[in-house]
Chains A and B, each alone.
Chain A
C-alpha cells in the first residue's frame, strides 16, 4: 500500500519555493514577493517575541528549580556526617512540577528546563516519557542510553572508544549505572584542568543525576514504584534527583505511590505559571501594542480565545492560530503589502501599481470614506492615482496613530472597569478589547452599568485609578495625550484640595455614616437608591461634582478613541477578519459536514432537483443520502433485504417508469449494485457494521438523529 515516487530528474526545487507557492495563486496582483517577505519577517519577529515571553515567564520557576537542585546534593559533595545520617532514611530529593492541563505546552518548558540545567547544574539529565517506558527494563534502558550519550557528547574528543559502547550491549542495571557514574566523575576529577573548575557548571565535583518524568500521570504505578525503591537503595552512591511533571494536582503523587514508596521521596513542590496568565501576557505583548502592524479583528480574536478556553488551554495552539491568521491575511489580501512598519509605508505606497490602486478604491471602508468627501475631492480620489496614494499614506498614518491611542485608552478603561464590582465589562483586558473591537462600546448596556458603578466609587479608589491612568498615558508613545494628562493631573490636585477642605463636608458625612451602619447588600442598595433620589433634588457636594466630571471625562475619551476598528478607513489592510476561515481550519467539525452532506445534499450540489424544503430529501438525491435516510428509521439492527427493497422503491420511483420490461432485470441488478456500493460506503463512514447476530443484518452504530 505504500508507493514512493521520486522525480526522474534529480533536480531539486530551489529553496525559495515557498515564495513560489505564495506567488502562483495570486497572479492577479503584483507585490506577492514583497508580501511574502513581509509575512515571513513579521512571523519570525512574533515568534522570537513569544519565545522571549515564554522564557521570561519561566525564569522564576527555573531559577527556583536550579536552586533546589544545587541545594539537594550539596551534602553529598561535602560528604559530611550529616549526609550519612540523612542517607539512612534513603530519601531521594524530588521536585514535583505542577504544570497544568495544557500538556502541549509542556514540551517547551521541559526543553528550557533541560537547557538551563545543562548550563548551570549538571550534564547528566535524562528525560523520560511514559510511552517509552512500559516496563522497568525499558525505563532503565532509556535512562542509561540518555545518560551515557550525553556523557559521550561532553567529552567526545577525549575518548573515542566510549562511543563504541552501544547502549544495548551494556547490561542495564543500577550497578552498571553506578560504576559508570563513578568512572565519569573520577575521570573529570583527575582529568579536568583547573580552568574547568572555574566554570560554573563544574563547581561540583560530582554533579547530580537528574531524571525528569515528563508526564508522571501516565506512567504505570508499578514501574514508578520499582524505580524509586531500587534507586533509593543506591542513593548514597548515586546522587539522584527526580523531577515529576504533573498536569493535574500534586495529590496524584500520593495516589500513584503507596505510602511506603512516597516516604522514600523528599518532595518539594513547584508551581509553574498558569496558562491563562501566560495567554494574558501574550495578548498584552503581541496584540495590545503598536509594534506589529498586523492586527486581529474582534471575531477572529474571539475564535482564538474560545478555542483556548473551551478546548485546550494551550498557548502553543493560540500562537499557531495567530500564525495562521498572518499567513491567511498576507495570502488573501493583495493590499496587505501595505501592512508594514510605518517607516516603510511611504515607499510602498508610492510604488503601488494601478491595479493595486483600484484595489484600494474597491475597499468598502474606503468607499465609505470617499462618499463623505466633497465632490471635487471624490473625483480626484477616484481618478488620480498619485492623489490617492498621498491620501492613502495619510490614512494609514492615521490608522497607526489611532491604534496607539486606542491601546492607551483601552488600558485606562480597563483600570477603571477591573476595579468595579462584578466586572460588567469583564475582568481581563482581552474581554474589554474584544468588546471594543466588536462594536461601539459606549452603546452597550455593560458600559452603561459600569459608568453607573464608576460614579459610585470612593475617593481613594478614584485617585489611585487616576494615578494609574496618568502613568499609562505618560508611558504611551502617543503624542496627543499631553492635554489629557494635564487634565487628569488637574483632577488629582482638585481631589487633593478637597481633602484639605474636608471639614466643609457635612451632609455627605452623615449619609456616609448611615451607609456604614448597614451591613447587608439589600439595605445598602436600598439606601443608595434613596440617596440617589434625594440627591437629585439636593445640591451635589464638591466631591460628587468632581467625581461626575471625572467619569464624564473618561467617557468622552472612550468615545473619542475607542472607536471600533471596522469604522476606520482602510482597516482591511491591517485587520484580519475572516473568522469563519480560521474556525474551519482550526476547529473543524467533520461530523457536521457529513451530516449536512447526507441530509441536505443541495447544500453542496447546486442542482434544482435536489432542492427540498423542510428538512426532507428528494428521491433524486445521491444513493448514499437515500440509504442513509432510510437507515435512520431503523433500530439497532437493520435487515439488508428490507433495506434493499425500500431503496429500490425509492430509486424506481425517481427514475421514470421504464416501459421496457425486458431490461427490468438488468435495471434491478444495477440498483442492487448501487445499493451495495452505498451500504459499503456507509460502513466506511462508520454508520453501520456487519453483525453476526442474525443473517443478513447490519448493526447501526449511531443512535437517534445522527
Chain B
C-alpha cells in the first residue's frame, strides 16, 4: 500500500520549488498563492460535481418523480450516483473501512500507532500542516485504482493470534518507495502546471474559474475512463496471496452451513416482517392486474421466494398453476414447456423442437378459452433461463391472454435480457419488493463460489469412485497424485508424461504392460478423475483436475484407510 512518510513542510516546499523552477523559489508568497488557488480549484471541482448531480436530479424530476413517496423504492437517487465512474476512496481500503466500522476500542488504536508510526501523519498536528495534508490527499487521489492491495496494517493486527499466518510473508507485491516518490512528483508537476495560470493572472484578467474547473473535471473523467481500461487490461493484479486453506478452518459443507446459519438469529426480523406485510397487501391488486392482461415482475434485494409462495398458497389454490424454480441448475425451457403440455394439457407425445411445442400450446390455449394457467417463475434471470431463445419462448408464452405470469428477478443486469420486442410481449408491470430475507434456496444450488463446499464435494466423489476400484488401480492413482503434489510449487507443471508414469508404475509392480495401464487410465478418464493433455512435443501428459488442497486431504484419508 501507499507508504506515507512524515516530511516537514519546508522539505515539501523545497521539493516543489525544485521541480517547479527557480522562479518560484524567489517568491515564496506567490507559491503559497498558487497553492491556495489549487486548493480552491479542488473545491470548485466538488462544486461542479454537485452542480451536475443537481442537473441529473432535474432530469429525474422531469420524469415525474416524487421524493415524498414513503414506502417506495429509493428511486430518488439519480442515475449518476448509481452508475457513475466516481472514484471510491481508494486510500481507505477495505480493512480501514472495516476498522472504521468496527470502531475498535482504545487499546487497539494504540497498538496501531506502535505498529506503524506513519499513521500519525494522517492526522495533522497543527494548522501549518494543512498544506501538506492536502498534498497527501492528492497523492491518494492519484493512486491508481487497480492497485488494490489488501490492508497490511489490519492483517498484522488480525493475524496476531494466528502464528501460522505470521510465519510467512504473504505479500505477492508490495508498493515500493519509488512509487511513492513518483506520486510525489506527479503532485509537484500538477502544482507547477497550476502555477502557470497563477502567473498570468497577475498580468491579465483571471480566466473564468468555472470553465477551468470544468476542464479539470473533464480531464478527471477522461482519466477515470482510461484508468478503467488500464486496470482491466493488465493481467497483473496485486492482492495478497493468502488462501482459505491456510486459515485451517474446518471445511463447511452445505449441511453444516445450514445448521450454523440456523443458529445465527435473523437480524431485523420484525422489520422484515413489516416489509413483507406491505407487499402482501398488494396480492389482490396483482391478481387484478394479471387478469387485465399485464404480467408482473418483482425486483429488489432479498429473496422473493417466500413472498411468491405466500401469494400462491393464499390466492391460487383454486386454479391450475405452474411453479418454476429458475434457480434450479438443470432447469430448461424445454422442461417448462413439457410440464405445460404433459401435465396441464395432458398431451402425450413429443415435439421436434421447443418452437413446435410452443405453437401447440398457443393453439390449444386459443382454442379453449376456459383454459387458464398461472405461471410463477422464481428467478427468471437465472443462468439457465436468461438465454435469448428461452426468453423469447417465455415471452411468447406470457403474451397469451389466458396465461398469467408472475416472476422475480435478482441480477443487477437482468433487465438487459429483454429488448423492446420481448418487453412488449411480456407486458410487465414492475413491482419493487425488497424483502431483505436471505436467499436460502436460491444460493443452495450454486457451489462454485463456496470454495469449501465444492472442495468437499470433489473430495467425497473422489473417495467414492476410488473405493470401487481395485487396489492396483488405487495405487496407480496414488502415484499420480503424489507426483502432482510433489510438483505443486511449479506453476508451469504440465503433468506427468505417460512414459514416466509407466516406468514408475512398473517399478511399483502395479502394471505389467503399457496396455493395462492405458486401460486403467481410460477408466479414470471416464470418471473424470484425470485429464490428458498433449504437449508441444506430442507427448501425452496426465493431470488430476483437482486443487492441491483436496488432493492432500485425499491422500491423508487414503492413509487413514490403509
> Which positions in A face B, CB cutoff 8 Å?
1-7, 9, 11-13, 17-18, 21-22, 24-25, 103-104, 131-132, 299-300, 302-303, 306, 310, 312, 314, 316-317, 320, 323-324, 327, 331, 579-580, 582-598, 600-601, 603-607, 610, 617-620, 622-624, 626, 629-647, 649-650, 652-654, 669-670, 672-674, 676-677, 679-681, 683-690, 693-698, 702-706
Contact = CB atoms under 8 A, between A and B. Distances in A.
Given A327-B289, A646-B95, 10 more contacts: A1-B328, A594-B299, A622-B436, A624-B301, A642-B150, A673-B261, A676-B257, A684-B443, A684-B446, A687-B412
A704 B85 contact: yes
Contacts of B74: 592-593, 595-597, 600, 603
B438 A681 contact: yes
Contacts of A302: 62-64
Contacts of A595: 74, 77, 81-82
* Nearest 6 pairs of A and B residues by beta carbon: A635-B148, A596-B74, A1-B328, A653-B102, A588-B430, A597-B301
23 contacts: A2-B338, A3-B322, A3-B324, A5-B312, A299-B64, A590-B409, A592-B74, A595-B74, A596-B74, A629-B97, A630-B94, A630-B98, A637-B239, A638-B148, A639-B240, A641-B247, A642-B239, A642-B240, A653-B101, A669-B260, A688-B449, A696-B242, A704-B87
A704 B228 CA distance: 9
A685 B240 contact: no
A670 B264 contact: yes
Interface string B89-107: 1101111111101111000
Interface string B73-91: 1110101011111111110
A685 B412 contact: yes
A28 to B, nearest CB: 13
Contacts of B323: 2-5
Given A7-B317, A591-B82, A21 B261 contact: no
B82 A579 contact: no
A21 to B, nearest CB: 4
Contacts of B224: 704
Interface string B372-409: 00000000000000000000100000000000000001
B466 interface: no
B424 A677 contact: no
A596 B263 contact: no
Contact of B318 (A4, A7, A585, A606): A7
A24 B288 CA distance: 10
A438 B292 CA distance: 30
A623 B101 CA distance: 13
A607 B250 contact: no
Interface in B413-461: 413-415, 420-421, 423-424, 427, 429-432, 434, 436, 438-439, 442-443, 446, 448-452
Nearest to B331: A1
B110 to A, nearest CB: 16
B102 A633 contact: no
Contacts of B316: 5
Nearest to B431: A585
Nearest to B294: A324
B249 A672 contact: yes
Interface residues of B, number: 141
Nearest to B146: A635
Contacts of A306: 62-64
A405 B344 CA distance: 56
A36 to B, nearest CB: 9
Contact of A25 (B82, B285, B436, B452): B285
Interface string B335-354: 11011100110000000000
B102 A13 contact: no
Contacts of B275: 604-605
A22 B288 CA distance: 6
Contact of B321 (A5, A25, A132, A590): A5
Interface stretch (B190-198, B266-274, B471-479, B515-523): B266-274
Given A131-B392, A672-B252, A2 B284 contact: no
B494 interface: no
A690 B453 CA distance: 14
Nearest to A105: B424
B369 to A, nearest CB: 10
Contact of B75 (A589, A619, A677, A704): A589
Contacts of B85: 703-705
Given A585-B430, A636-B148, A676-B452, A591 B412 contact: yes
A394 B114 CA distance: 84
Contacts of B411: 684-686
Contacts of A693: 237
Contacts of B436: 597, 601, 604-605, 622
A633 B239 contact: no
A642 B172 CA distance: 14
B339 A4 contact: yes
Nearest to A700: B148
Interface stretch (B116-124, B151-159, B177-185, B208-216): B151-159
B370 interface: yes
B370 A12 contact: yes
Contact of A584 (B72, B84, B94): B72
A104 B250 CA distance: 56
Nearest to B415: A590
B64 A2 contact: no
Interface in B233-252: 237-247, 249-250, 252
A588 B432 contact: yes
Contact of A5 (B101, B249, B320, B331): B320
A594 B301 contact: yes
B101 A617 contact: yes
Contact of B154 (A640, A646, A677, A687): A646
B277 to A, nearest CB: 13
B101 A619 contact: yes
A633 B64 contact: no
B72 A1 contact: no
B495 interface: no
A659 B421 CA distance: 61
Contacts of B439: 680-681, 684
B239 A1 contact: no
B205 interface: no
A132 B103 CA distance: 61
Contacts of B321: 4-5
Nearest to A9: B318
Contacts of A24: 284
B320 A645 contact: no
Contacts of B187: none
A300 B64 CA distance: 7
Contacts of A641: 240, 242-244, 246-247
A649 B98 contact: yes
A7 B312 CA distance: 12
Given A104-B424, A637-B148, A640-B244, A590 B300 contact: yes
Given A584-B75, A593-B434, A649-B98, A677 B443 contact: yes
Given A633-B93, A641-B244, A607 B261 contact: no
Nearest to A669: B260
Nearest to B260: A673
Contacts of B176: none
B173 interface: no
B300 to A, nearest CB: 5
A630 B97 contact: yes
A680 B103 contact: no
B11 interface: no
A82 B176 CA distance: 87
A702 B260 CA distance: 30
Given A636-B237, A638-B239, A705 B77 contact: no
A302 B74 CA distance: 21
Nearest to A683: B449
Contacts of B540: none
A417 to B, nearest CB: 21
Contacts of A104: 420-421, 423-424
